[in-house]
Amino acid sequence: MESILQCRGLTKKYGNLVALHDVSLDLPSGQIIGLLGPNGSGKTTLIKLITSLLTQNEGTISIDGFEPGAYSKKLISYLPERTYLSDWMRVSDVIAYFEDFYDDFREDRAYDMLNRLQIDSSARLRTLSKGTKEKVQLILVMSRQARFYILDEPIGGVDPAARDYIMNTILTNYDPGATILISTHLISDIESILDYVIFLQYGQITLAAGADDIRMKHGKSIDTLFREVFRC
Amino acid sequence: MIAVSRLLLPLHAALIAFTVIGHFIIAAGRNSYELSSQFGHMGGIPLVIYCLFMFFTVCATFIYMLVYFYKSMYGDEGYLTFTLPADTWQILLSKALTALLWEVVDIIVSGFCIMGLFFTNEMWVSFGEFFSKIGYYFYQAFGVRLNGIPIVLAIAVFLLSLLQSILVFYLCFTIGQISNNHRVAAAVGVFFGISVILQIVTTFSIMPFFYGINYSKTYDTMMKFLTYSCITEACVCTGCWFLSLYLMKHKLNLQ
């Protein structure tokens, strides 16, 4: 199967702390992939390396056959775990901003999602709650027709009712040929949509396999397996 | 650009407004003994406040440009900036040009405000004469005839020195962000280090221009000095530019 991402021997250290150690990985195209692990396991570090926000100490990354750069940034639609939008902007300003920068951004899709979530597009971001800001960011990210979506904790900061909407938004707005990498530790909320699963622990990959294969091999759900593997 | 302008435009508009008000108050004082004596009793306090405001505007413009750079590159907004489908040099260029443009606007506005505050119709005539004879006065003072080349060089030195101060700070922030802790403090430390090195190098390198200066060749000396300043500032700018780019590409450490 064609892979959208290849990592070889990735190592990232913060001073003496090893956040990722010798990670090698191939992500298959056109699948929804869960990057699962407890807090501090290296999920966000791995994602930041893929999106070029961090530089690895060792190893290589290849996205669709290319080194990270302007081309890979065109392919990737990235949702970070924090708010990266300027507070003074209006929602409509941010949509115009994305429209300017991304050829694959679909404004109609963004406004449609805003309407369904009853978010006022003329509101300034500073007037929105943290959860609503996260929804706006998710709308921006999912309004692109990207080949590779990377969502870092997309449901971490929202209430359970909104989680269903967010998962539905992700599922109904991505192109079938695209790959989605979702990082989370809330497994039960996303298990049903995952095609492929990666377990990350202490900066190393402990498991990488198809979701159905894991269920069949272990005879239990991924959520149950996660709780067993990462029990404190 | 919009993000910066939303603060700096009102700030400079306020400076212009204060200048216009101040101009009319001073003009009224000139025409009225009563008003003039009242302002005299105030001990020039409004003028001091005006000067402080102008100083604040100049400082705020420069500091805000640096804060804006840090926030948009190495703060949370950096998560968007560095994932936009643009090359790193395009991002750096857009920040540097925005800062340079605002610095130039700031200096021009401040200069016109100082002149505008005390300007009278009589001075307008005098200024006209002054500007028409500026070449003559310059020749009288320095023995140098002003023509196109020194003026162009002087403008280039001015713009390059502004750009240099901006790019040195950008480089300091870029080096500071590599650190895992105390990133701003690291940037300040790097700034002091670079400033000291630049000062030492500049001081020693310009000495030959003023040692045993021959006043009969002032023009040549000035041209050499301006050319040398242009080259050294361009070199510092180029060094800061490429080092910042290299670090952004190979040592980015957004936390």
The verdict on a CB contact (< 8 Å) between A80 and B78 is no
A174-216 pLDDT, tens digit per residue, is 777 899 999 987 888 888 889 999 999 999 999 999 999 999 9
DSSP assignment, residue A54?
A: B
What tokens does B225 get? Answer: 């000095």
Positive or negative: CA dihedral A203, A206, A209, A215? negative
Please, what is the Cα angle at B78 between B75 and B81, to 5 degrees? Answer: 155
A98 contact partners, CB below 8 Å, separation of at least 6: A105, A110, A140, A143, A144
Sign of CA dihedral A171, A174, A179, A183: negative
* Cross-strand bridge partners of residue A199: A36, A207
What is the spatial distance between Cα A193 and Cα B108, in angstroms, rounded to a whole number?
60
Tallying the residues shown for chain A, one arrives at 232
Structure tokens at B115: 């002149």
Q: What angle do CA B45, B51, B55 make, to 5 degrees?
A: 145
Query: What are A152's strand-pairing partners?
Result: A183
Q: Where are the beta strands (DSSP E) in A16-154?
A: 17-28, 32-36, 58-63, 76-79, 148-152
Structure tokens at B212: 């045993």
**Closest by Cβ to A55, choosing from B76, B79, B251:** B251
Looking only at the bridges linking them, the beta strands covering A179-184 and A148-152 are parallel
What is the gyration radius of the CA atoms in chain A, in angstroms?
Answer: 18
Judge: A80–B79 Cβ closer than 8 Å, yes or no: yes
Q: How confident is the model at residue A173 (pLDDT cuts 50, 70, 90)?
A: confident
Q: Are A103 and B100 in contact (CB under 8 A)?
A: no
Counting Cα atoms < 13 Å in the Cβ hemisphere of A214 gives 20
Q: Which residues of B touch A80 (CB under 8 A)?
A: 79
User: A148 versus B42: which is more confidently predicted?
Assistant: A148
SS3 A205: strand
Q: Which two tokens stand for residue B207?
A: 């000495």
Tens of pLDDT, residue by residue over A116-145, are 888 999 999 999 988 889 889 989 999 999
Q: How many beta-carbon pairs under 8 angstroms link A with B?
A: 52
CA distance A72 to chain B (A): 8
Q: Contact B80/A74, CB-based, under 8 Å?
A: no
Report pLDDT for B148. Answer: 75
Contact at CB, A51 and B80, closer than 8 angstroms: no
* Assembly ipTM: 0.90
If you measure CA to CA, which chain A residue comes closest to B252? Answer: A54
For A82, which of B79, B86, B250 is closest by C-beta distance? B79
Chain position carrying tokens 């060749």: B217
* pLDDT more than 90, % of chain A: 61
Closest-CA residue to A229 (of A185, A193, A190)? A185
Radius of gyration of chain B (CA): 23
Considering only the beta carbons, identify the residue of A53, A76, A84 that sits closest to B77.
A84
**Residue in A191, A145, A147, A142 with CA at minimum distance from that of residue A171:** A142
A14 forms beta bridges with A17
Residue B215 confidence (pLDDT): 61
Instruction: Give the C-alpha distances (Å, rounded to integers) separating A142 from A48, A232, B80.
Output: 19, 35, 15
Interface touch B3/A86, C-beta < 8 Å: yes
For the segment A21-44, what is each residue's pLDDT rounded down to a tens digit? Answer: 999 999 989 999 999 998 889 999
Length of chain B: 255
- Output the 3-class SS for chain B: CHHHHHHHHHHHHHHHHHHHHHHHHHHHHHHCHHHHHHHHHCCCHHHHHHHHHHHHHHHHHHHHHHHHHHHHHHCCCHHHHCCCCCCHHHHHHHHHHHHHHHHHHHHHHHHHHHHHHHCCHHHHHHHHHHHHCHHHHHHHHHCCCCCHHHHHHHHHHHHHHHHHHHHHHHHHHHHHCCCCCCHHHHHHHHHHHHHHHHHHHHHHHHHHHHCCCCHHHHHHHHHHHHHHHHHHHHHHHHHHHHHHHHHHHHCCECC
Distance of alpha carbon B114 from alpha carbon A16, whole angstroms: 56
Q: What is the full per-residue pLDDT of chain B (255 aa) written as tens digits?
A: 777 888 899 999 999 998 888 888 777 776 666 666 665 555 567 788 888 999 999 999 999 999 999 999 999 999 999 999 999 999 999 999 999 999 999 999 998 888 887 777 666 666 667 666 767 776 776 666 666 777 888 899 999 999 999 999 999 999 999 988 888 999 999 999 999 999 998 888 877 766 666 666 677 777 888 888 899 999 999 999 999 999 999 999 887
Amino acid A122: pLDDT:
94
**A7-20: per-residue pLDDT in tens?**
999 999 988 899 99
